[in-house]
Chain A
Amino acid sequence: MTTATTSRHRPLDPAPDVAARARGLSKTYGKGESAVHALRGIDLEVRAGRFTAIMGPSGSGKSTLMHCLAGLDGVTSGEVTVAGRDLSGLDDTELTLFRREHIGFVFQAFNLLPMLTAGQNIVLPLELSGRSLDRERYDKVVDVLGIADRLGHLPGELSGGQQQRVAIARALVADPAIVFADEPTGNLDSEASAEVLGHLRRSVREHQMTVVMVTHELDAAAYADDVVVIRDGAVAAHLVEPTQDELVAALRSKVA
C-alpha cells in the first residue's frame, strides 16, 4: 500500500504537462439490481510525453477506463479532460470529431479494415477528417516501423506483428495528442511483442507522443514510464517509473 500512498503525495505538475485527466469518473452499466459498477470514482492524470500503462486483472475495469478516456463511451458521472478539452458535454458527433483530430488507437485485434490495403488503412483517419497528408511524416513513420514494402498489401496478407505496426503507423501519422493502445501485443509472440512495444516507446521518446496502453502483461508494462493499477473499478496504485519489484508488489498487494 505504501507505493500507492507515495504516488498520491507526489506533487504533480498541473495543466500543460497533463494529456488526459479523470475526476471522480464513474461508469455504471445497466440499472437497479443488475447494475454493474465498472468504474467507481476514478481520479487520474496522464502526463504528456510519457508512456503510461494501465494494468489490472480481467474485469478490473481497465478497458472501460480507456474507453472513457478516449471518448469511445460516455461516462455516468465525473469528468474527463483530454488535450485540455472537457469531454463530458460533447454529443456523439462532437466526440467523434474530437477523436479523429486528437486521438490515435491501436487495438488488440481487428485493427485494420480487411478490404483496404495497409497504406489505405494508415491514411484513413486523415481522409475521414479531410486533413491533408504530411507526406514527409508518412514516409518517416512507415520507414521507422519497417512496413514500407508492405503498404500495397491487404491486412490478410500481413503477419500479426506487421498488422500491429501498420496500426501504430496509422496512429502516429495523424499526429494525435494521445495514443491509446488496448492490449496491442495480446495476439503476438514474444519477438513481435517486443518489436511493437519498442516502437511505441520510441514514438514517446523520439516524437514526444503520449501513449496510454492497457495491458495485463508484466513484460509489456515494463516498457512504460508510469503504471496505473486498476482493481475493482478504482485506482489501486499509480507508479512512476517503477522497478520490476515495485510493480509486482503493487499488483500482488490485493492478494496479500
Chain B
Amino acid sequence: MRTVLFASLRHHTRRYVASALAVIIGVAFIVATDGLAGALRDGMTADVGKPYAGASYVVETQDLEQVQALVEAGAREGFGVQPIAENWTSLRVEGRTVDNITLGTVALDPDLRWQELVAGQHPTGPGEVVVDERTAARAALDVGDEVVIPFAEKEGAFRVVGISDATVGAGADVYLLWSDIAADQSVWVRGVLWNGTFSAADELTDGAVIWTAEEHVRDLQKQITQGVDVISLMVMLFGAIALGVAILVITNTFAILFAQRTRDFALLRCVGVTQRQLRRSVRIEAMVLAIVAAGVGVLVGMGAAWAFGSVLARRFDAMGQVSFSPAWVIGAAVVGILVTVVAAWLPTRAVTRVSPLAALRPDAGVGISTPAGRFRILLATLMIAGGVAALVAAMANKEATTAILLMLAGGALSFVGVLLLGPLLIPALLRGAGRLISRKGPAGAVARLATGNSVRNPRRTATTAASLMVGVTLTTAVLTGLHVMWAGLSEEMDTSYSLDMAVAVIGAEPLPDDIARRAAELDGVDDAVLVTGGRHELLTGTESVLLGVPDTSILRGSEDVLRGADLVVPHELINVLGEQDLERYYADGTVTVRGVDGPLVVKVRSTDAYGGTVVLDPAVLEKLVSAPEPRALWLRAQDGADAGDLETALNTLLGRSDLVWSGDYEERTWVETQMNVMTGAVVGLLGVAIVIALIGIGNTLGLSVIERGRENALLRAMGLTKPQLRRTLAVEGLLVAMVATLLGIAIGLGFAWVGIEVLVAEMIDTSFAVPVRQLAVVLVVAGVSGVLASVLPSRRAARVSPAEGLALQ
C-alpha cells in the first residue's frame, strides 16, 4: 500500500498545489501577524522604561499639592525627586502655529534625567526647553530658537537649548522643567520619581500607590502589550476567516480528485485492497499535504514578517525586532494541518464507498450529480428561518450584549443555511444568469456551454461559489456599515461642525477688501467669504473681535449660527461675568454689554466653535461697533484638501501673525481619514480570504478541465475553435464569480442593515444607504478575477489537440 501511496502523491502533486496554496496563505497570515505584533510589542515597549531608569520608586499621584510636597521634600533632604508630567497644547514659532504638541518634563538632576541629546545641552534653569528631534524637524526648530507656548492661563516664552533623540511610547514633543510646566494648572502628572525612602513618600501622600520603578515599568509594558495583543487577535480573526475559506477550497479539491480517481480506487479494490486500507491511504495522502502546506506556510509567514517588518521599521519608530511566539507558530501550523485533514475527511469517506465493480464498468464520462437531498433542504430552510428570527430578535432587543450575541448567532446560522442550500440555489442562479448572456449564434452557444458546464456539478460549483461568497459577504457588510456610519457622522458634522475654517485678525489693521476673492482662488478652497466686524470691549476689561454673521451658504449643512440669540460668545467671556450677571444669564440667557450708545441687553449663546471670536447678528453689530470693517475670512474647503496645506497657504496669503484660527475642517478630515484607514484595513484583510477563494475558482476550473478532456476534444472535433474553448472557460469562471459575488453582496447588505440597527443606530442618527461605487468595484474585481482564474485552465485545455483528447480515457 505504501508504494501506491507514494506513487499517487508523486503523480497528483500538481493537482494539490491550489489546496496547498490556500493553507499556506492562511497559516502564513497568522504567523506573519504574530511576527509583526512581536515587532510592535518590542518597539513600543523598548523606550517605556527609560524615564524610570534612575529612580527607586514611582509615586502615582495626580494631586498637585502632594506632588509639590514631594518635590519640596526632595529639595530639603537632598535626594532626587522628579514629577513626570504632561500637557497638550500648540507652539508658536515666529508667528507660525504648530499644533498637536505634547509637553513633557526634563529633570535638572542628571540621575533622573533620561533624555539623550543629539544637539545642544540640557536646561540649566527656567525658560529653557529640550525639543524632540522629530518635532524639531516638523516645526523647523533648532537650538537657540525662541518658542511661545500658549498655556491656558498665560503665554510663556521659551528658548530651545537642546534637541533630544526620538523615543517611542514615552516622552513628548517639548520637554520643560517641572517648575515651568507646573505653572499651568491643567498639567497632568503621571507619577513622581522618588529616590527617598518608601515610608517618607508614604507619609507625604495619602493613599497614593507607590511602586518600585521596576514594577511600574513592567506594569506599563504589560498595558502596552495587552493593547497590541488585542489588535493582533483582531487581525488573527481575519486569518481564521481565510482558513475557513481554505476549508471549502480543500474539500472541493479532494472531492474532485477522488471523483476522477474512482476507477483507480476500484481497481485497487479489485486486486484486494480492503476498504480500510484504501481509506487509510487517502487520509495519509491528505495528512502529508497538510503537514507540507502548514510547514511551508510557517516559513512563508516568517519570511513575510521579516520582510514587512524591516520595511515598516524604516518608516515607523514603533516597529522593533520581529519575533515569534512559539505558541502562535505551533498553533498556526496545527490549525493549518487540522483544517486540511478535516476538509479532506468527508471526501475520503466517499472513497471507500467505491465498489470494485466500478473498475469493470465502461466509463460513462462525467456524470451529472444530484443537487441536494431533501434532508439538506429541510435543514437549510430551518437554519435560515432560525437565523433570520435571531436577527429580528437582535434588532428588537434593547440590551446591547444580548443583541450583539443574537446578531452574531443569527448571522452565522442563516449564512450556513444559505451555504447548505447552495447546491440548489447557486445552479438556479447560474442558469438564470446564463440565460441573460445567451444570445443566438456562436457566442450564445459558447455561453450555453459555459452555463451547462457550471451547473453540471451543483455541489462542486456551490462549494466554489461559497468560498468566494464568504469574503464578499463580509466585505460588503463592512463597506456598507462604514459607509452608513460615515454618512451619518458627516451629516451630524455638517450641522454641529459646519464652519470649515475661519481666520480673524486681532490687530488694529483690517483685512483688505479683495481678500475673499483671492482666498477663494487658493488650491483646496471651495469658497471664501469676507466677514465684517470690529474690535470692541463688550464687558469691561475684555476686548473681543466681533463678527457679523455673513452669508451662511459658506457653511456646510444649514446651521443656524445664532439659534435665536443676538450674540454667540466664547465660554471665556461667560467665565468673567460677575455673580449676579451669571445668575441672570443662567436664568434667561441675557447679558448686558457695552454698546455704542450705552449698555445694551442682548441674548447670548456660548460656544468655542468660532475660536474666541464673538459672532452676532449684523443688526446688533451696528449698535456695538461704530465703523465695521473687514475682520475675518470664513472658508469652505474642497473635499479632500489637506487641512495643514490650506492653513499654510492662507498664512502666506495674509502675511501677518495677529491671527486667530478656528473651524473644524481638520477635525473632519481626521475623522474621514480614520474611516478610510479602517475601511482599507478591513477590506485589505478580507482580501486574503477573497484571494484564497479565487485560487479555489481557478482550481475547480483547472481540475474540471482535466476531467473534461475527452469532452473538450469532442467539441473541438465538432468545430469549437481554441479561442471559443478558452472563452467557454472564461465565461464559466465569470458566471460563478459573478453569481457568488452578487449573492454575497445581497446577503452582506442584509447583514449590514441588521448590524447598523443593532450597533450604531442608538449612537448616530443614520439612514441606510448602499455604497454603490464601492460595491461596483467589488463586482468588477470579482468578475475580472473570475476571468483571470480561468486563464491557466483554459490555456491548458486549448493546448490539447482534438486527436490527443479523443484518445483520453
Contacts and interface: CB of A to CB of B under 8 A. Distances in A.
B445 A100 contact: no
Nearest to A91: B722
A201 B402 CA distance: 78
A231 interface: no
Contacts of B716: 72, 96
B594 interface: no
- Name the residue in A107, A114, A125 with the highest tally of chain B Cβ atoms < 10 Å from its Cβ: A114
Interface stretch (A76-84, A127-135, A236-244): A127-135
A72 B801 CA distance: 7
B176 to A, nearest CB: 80
A194 interface: no
B714 A111 contact: yes
A105 interface: yes
Contact of A110 (B710, B718, B802): B710
A123 to B, nearest CB: 9
Counting chain A CB atoms within 10 Å of each CB, the highest count among B723, B724, B802 belongs to B802
Contacts of A101: 719
A110 B711 contact: yes
A115 interface: yes
A105 B721 contact: no
A182 to B, nearest CB: 8
A187 B362 CA distance: 9
A128 B455 contact: no
B718 A72 contact: no
A99 B719 contact: yes
Given A67-B803, A93-B722, A107-B806, A128 B714 contact: no
Contacts of B373: none
A109 B365 contact: yes
A251 interface: no
Interface size class on chain A is 20 to 34
Nearest to A154: B368
Contacts of B365: 109-110, 114
A170 B714 CA distance: 12
A101 B466 CA distance: 41
B448 interface: yes
B456 interface: yes
Contacts of A182: 806
Contacts of A96: 716, 719-722
Question: How big is chain B's contact interface, by range?
Answer: 20 to 34
Nearest to A64: B803
Contacts of A92: 721-722, 801
Given A107-B714, A113-B714, A115-B456, A125 B719 contact: yes
Nearest to B803: A73
A148 interface: no
Interface string A34-65: 00000000000000000000000000000010
Nearest to B453: A115
State the majority secondary structure of interface residues on B: helix
A120 interface: yes
A97 interface: yes
A187 B365 CA distance: 14
A107 B716 CA distance: 13
A128 B455 CA distance: 20
Nearest to A98: B719
Contacts of B350: none
A115 B708 CA distance: 12
B622 to A, nearest CB: 84
A129 B719 contact: yes
A105 B718 contact: yes
Interface string B445-478: 1001100110110000000000000000000000
B368 A73 contact: no
Contacts of B441: 127, 130
Contacts of A151: none
A113 B720 CA distance: 13
A113 B451 CA distance: 13
Nearest to A70: B717
Contacts of B715: 113, 124
Interface string B356-377: 0000001011111000000000
A127 B445 contact: yes
Given A72-B803, A113-B711, A113-B714, A130 B367 contact: no
A156 to B, nearest CB: 6
Nearest to B443: A130
Nearest to A96: B721
Nearest to B723: A93
Nearest to B805: A72
A116 interface: yes
B644 interface: no
Question: Which of B448, B452, B710, B714 gathers most chain A CB within 10 Å?
Answer: B714
B367 A114 contact: yes
B95 interface: no
Contact of B367 (A110, A113, A156): A156
B721 A97 contact: yes
Contacts of B804: 73
A72 B802 contact: yes
Nearest to B451: A115
A115 B453 CA distance: 7
Contact of B720 (A72, A128, A187): A128
Nearest to A186: B362
B718 A99 contact: yes
B456 A124 contact: no
Interface in B279-297: none
Contacts of B802: 67, 72-73
Contacts of B711: 110, 113-114
B162 to A, nearest CB: 78
Interface in B342-396: 362, 364-368
A87 B446 CA distance: 26
B442 interface: yes
Contacts of A64: 803
Given A72-B803, A115-B455, A128 B368 contact: no
Contacts of B367: 114, 156
A70 to B, nearest CB: 7
Given A127-B441, A130-B442, A105 B717 contact: yes
A93 B723 CA distance: 9
Interface string A151-193: 0001010000000000000100000000000100001000000
Contacts of B456: 114-115
A92 B362 CA distance: 31
Nearest to A120: B448
Contacts of A120: 448
B444 interface: yes
Contacts of B710: 110
B717 A128 contact: no
Contacts of A170: 718
A67 B368 CA distance: 29
Interface of B: 362, 364-368, 441-442, 444-445, 448-449, 452-453, 455-456, 710-711, 714-724, 801-804, 806
17 contacts: A67-B802, A67-B803, A73-B801, A74-B801, A93-B721, A101-B719, A109-B365, A110-B710, A113-B714, A114-B368, A115-B368, A115-B456, A116-B452, A124-B715, A124-B718, A127-B441, A156-B367
Given A99-B718, A100-B719, 19 more contacts: A67-B802, A72-B716, A72-B802, A74-B801, A96-B719, A99-B719, A101-B719, A107-B714, A109-B362, A110-B710, A113-B714, A114-B365, A114-B711, A115-B455, A127-B441, A128-B445, A128-B724, A156-B364, A170-B718
Interface of A: 64, 67, 70, 72-74, 92-93, 96-97, 99-101, 105, 107, 109-111, 113-116, 120, 124-125, 127-130, 154, 156, 170, 182, 187
5 shortest interchain CB distances as A-B pairs: A100-B719, A73-B803, A115-B452, A127-B445, A67-B803
